[in-house]
Every structure is written in structure tokens, then in C-alpha cells.
Structure 1
Amino acid sequence: MTGGGDSTGGDGTGRDVGFYEGVHARPDGESSVRRCAAHAANLGYDGLVVRNHGDARSDVDLEAVSETADLDVVDGLEVRADSPEQASGYVGNYRPKYTVLLVHGGSNRMNRFAVEQDRVDVLAHPMRGDGDVNHVLAKAAAEHGVRLEFDFANVLRATGGRRVQALSDLRKLRELVEQYDAPYVVSAVGTSHRHLRGPRALAAVGETIGFSREQIHDGLREWGHIVARTREVRHPDFVEPGVRRGRYADRNDGSDSIGGVDR
């Protein structure tokens, strides 16, 4: 089971990808983007995806926060809708505008919608509420490259029956992801900087419920794979994954090249 990217930490283009997390920041959460980013950097993260819902988007200058925190702060959006039809419109509208696009799961209808959309990066917290994942949805997620989220929020912050149910849900989802090699991400799904946990702490929690340390780390790196690939596709010289249209920096004859091959 891998996060869907290169398990060695690369993004498939030879570049290193570190650990990323996703957070709901103000006005969708309690803490500001700046405070979340500063805390994430202190915890050892290389990047932070601001994943606010569409009706609570942040207008903070993420580039400025990135420079201050020395952390890659990424524009994400979590689509929350009343129906798949409404969600489809939101996905079409927001996909070109955000680097990471999630769909708010937790119902069977929304879960099924999300895993069948090539334009969706992540199905967020699919096991919450009345939501569930079965072999059909896991296969669809693998086919369409939609990452299933291992949501550690209730394991970390709930008690009693809710925590027991969350543990059971994570075990079931892990088994399906392993069986069908579905891509995935890992998150504490924080709504405050205080909810963030470092990669080592999340791995320790994961190991107590049957994950390996490498599985948790792969799921944290996968956020970075999404970011790198979206940015690559948006590059004006993009031709196909790993190939850009351009010129040799050390050539003076002006000949075009694609992926190192003269055209």
C-alpha cells in the first residue's frame, strides 16, 4: 500500500517531496493560516494545504505566509454540497482555480460521486456520518486516481464510542486500500493549529492500529505529490507528465526541444 506516488519520496519527476498536511484555517477553523503554517513548520512539515470549504474560503496571501513560515502553503478547497449534481458544478468551477481539490465525503452518494471524478484529488473523510467505502468505491478510486483520506481526527480528539467507531472505520478502509491498491492521503483534519500532529506522532498513532510507519509517511507525502503534479500540469510548457516544451539552456541555435528531444 502506497500513497499513490513514489514511495521513496519523489513525485515521479526526480524531485523530492516532503511531508504535507491539510488544515481548515480561519474563517473555516479557529486558527489563522499564519499560525497554522508556523506550527506546521515547527512540527517538521514541508508544506501545508489550506483546505477550507467553498463557503468559508481564506483570502490570505499564501505566498507571503510561505515566505514567512519557510513552508509551502498551498491553496486547496474542499467542495461541500447537498447533492452530486451540485457538487459537479462546484468541481467544474473550482478545479481550474485551486491546486488541491477535495470533495467533502461522509454520505454514500457523495463518496460514489467523488471517486468517479478524474478532476477530484481527494475524497475527504469518507467514513464520517453515514458514509462508507466498499470494494466498488475502492476500485473506482484506484481507477480514477482519487485519494481516499485516512481521517485521524476522531482517533486523536474523540472519546468513547465515537473513537471506537473511528478506529474500526480506519481499519476497514486500510484493508480496502491495501487490497485494491487505492491511492490515499493521511490527515489529522485539523480546524486549529492545536490539532496538528507531527509526522512522527501520527506514525506512532497509526502503528497502534495496524498501519506501518511507512504507510503513514506515504500518506503525508501524497499531499505533496498532488501539489507537484498539479503545478506541473499548469506549467505553460507542459506537454505530458515529465515532459515540457522548451529550449536547452546551453544551446544557442534556437532549436526547440521537448523532453530533451530536438523538434
Structure 2
Amino acid sequence: MYEAAHARPDGESTVARLALTAAEQGYEGLVVRNHGDAEAGYDPDAIGERYGIDVVDGVEVRAGDRSRLAGLIGSHRERRTVVCVHGGPHNRLVCEDERVDVLAHPMRDGDVNHVLVRAARENGVRVEFDFGRVLRTVGGERVQALRGLRKLRELVGKYEAPYVVSADATDHLQLRAPRELLAVGESIGFDREAVRAGLAEWGRIAERNRERRADSFIEPGVRRGRYEEVDR
């Protein structure tokens, strides 16, 4: 299972500190999902080797303008292994863009309906279940967060859309062990295996995109042999 978190300067903890905590909690990997205007400087391979965890270079794109958002998605797609987009008023645009891996916390600053979820399924965009607000708020705000997640679960389940799960941590103290996220998932109607699948999906995204970026990639399921040449 993998988690995805914001590191300094987008969050409070360094990538190394997040990786150490995630490894101690039993995660196999950590996706660094800093917003594009707050990138972290780090060596994922060195940190991963030090703490025994797969550190994945990701980004969470955000922009107020639709055309600027589309341009940022394209530029980050060339450089990042995992491309998330900050949910909000452009949720539909994001769900219709196959270059996007994850629509991040779509219910926080926007809404989701059956049209968006079907578009996400058709374009392979994972919808994120952000458990952070449930874990870090109380009272009416927590109730509202639970209501939004239950609505999202019903839509994702009905239309069989792909999804990921995260606590969306901004420091190492906000990271939660898988067992805690499993408990939150049960409170919104998920079974434990569904939450595990949502955590594992981050790793599947990283593996797929690394393969696509490799020199040996031709098409899904086909890799170039040592002596094979491909017309370009």
C-alpha cells in the first residue's frame, strides 16, 4: 500500500521525514504530491534506499484558469510520475483529460455527479477519497466531510470508476497507518479490501507510468527487446 502527502515547502515536513514515518507505519511507497507552485527539492532514489520505501515524484496541479490548467497538466505530465489535479470548479475538465492520474479531493472545493464519474471512468482518471477532513476535523465540518465521502462512494461504486484513498497529509504527524484509514473507510460504507485497493492504486499508477516512460515501452503489454528496433 502507498500514501500520498505534501512535503516542505507545501507542507511542514521534509520528504525524508515523511518517508521515514510512512515506512514505519507499514507503507510500501510514498507519493510526494506538492502543488506545482511549491515544489520540493529531493532525491527520491536516495531517500527511498535509506528508508526502504518507494518514493514517487508526483505533483498536484492547480490553476484558476481552464486554459492555464490544461497547459500545466501537459508540462507536468512530461516530468512527473504521478499527476494529480486539485479538485474544484474544473472537476469536469479534469475528469475528461486522460493525461491526469488523480482528481484530488474533488468534494472539498467542488462537487461530483454521475456525469463526472462516468467521464473519469472512461478516461482512466482516479477519483480521490480524501480522508483527511474526517481525521482532522470535528463537529459539523466532520459530518459534512463524511456526507460528501458517502455520496462519492455511491457514485464511484455505481459507475465502477477507478479511485485512490489518502489522508492528504501535510506533515508526518498527519500520516495515518493503514489500519486507521481502514476504520474511516468502514464509517462511510467501504469494506476493508476496498480501502486497501485504494491505497494500493497509488503504487499501480506509479508502476504503469514508469513503464510508459521507460525506453523499452512500446504499448501496454509489449516491451522492446534488446535488439528490436521500432520505426518512429
Q: What TM-score do you get using the length of structure 1 for normalisation?
A: 0.85
User: 2:195 is matched with which residue?
Assistant: 216
Q: Does 1:178 align with 2:157?
A: yes
Deviations, residues 209-256 of structure 1 (Å, cap 9, x unaligned):
211001100000000010000011111111111210104xxxxxx7x4
- Opposite residue 14 of structure 2, the aligned amino acid is S
How many residues are matched? 230
Tell me, in whole angstroms, the C-alpha distance in 2 between the residues paired with 1:200 and 1:76.
24
User: 1:14 is matched with which residue?
Assistant: none
Q: Does 1:65 align with 2:30?
A: no
Deviations, residues 98-148 of structure 1 (Å, cap 9, x unaligned):
0000100022xx10111000100000000002x110000000000000000
| Residues 9-48 of structure 1 mapped to structure 2, 5 A cutoff | 19-48=1-30
Segments of 5+ residues of structure 1 without an aligned counterpart are: 1-18, 248-253, 259-263
Deviation for aligned residue 1:78: 0.5
Q: Which has the larger radius of gyration?
A: 1
Deviation for aligned residue 1:155: 0.3
Tell me, in whole angstroms, the C-alpha distance in 2 between the residues paired with 1:182 and 1:209.
17
Runs ≥4 in structure 1, deviation > 4 angstroms? none
- Opposite residue 106 of structure 2, the aligned amino acid is P
- Opposite residue 113 of structure 2, the aligned amino acid is N
3-state SS in 1 of match to 2:13: coil
Q: Does 1:121 align with 2:97?
A: no
- RMSD between aligned alpha carbons? 1.3
Tell me, in whole angstroms, the C-alpha distance in 2 between the residues paired with 1:106 and 1:42.
33
Q: What TM-score do you get using the length of structure 2 for normalisation?
A: 0.96
User: 2:136 is matched with which residue?
Assistant: 157
Q: Which moved more, 1:203-212 or 1:173-182?
A: 203-212
User: 1:194 is matched with which residue?
Assistant: 173
3-state SS in 2 of match to 1:95: helix
Deviation for aligned residue 1:208: 2.2
Deviation for aligned residue 1:257: 9.5
User: 1:251 is matched with which residue?
Assistant: none
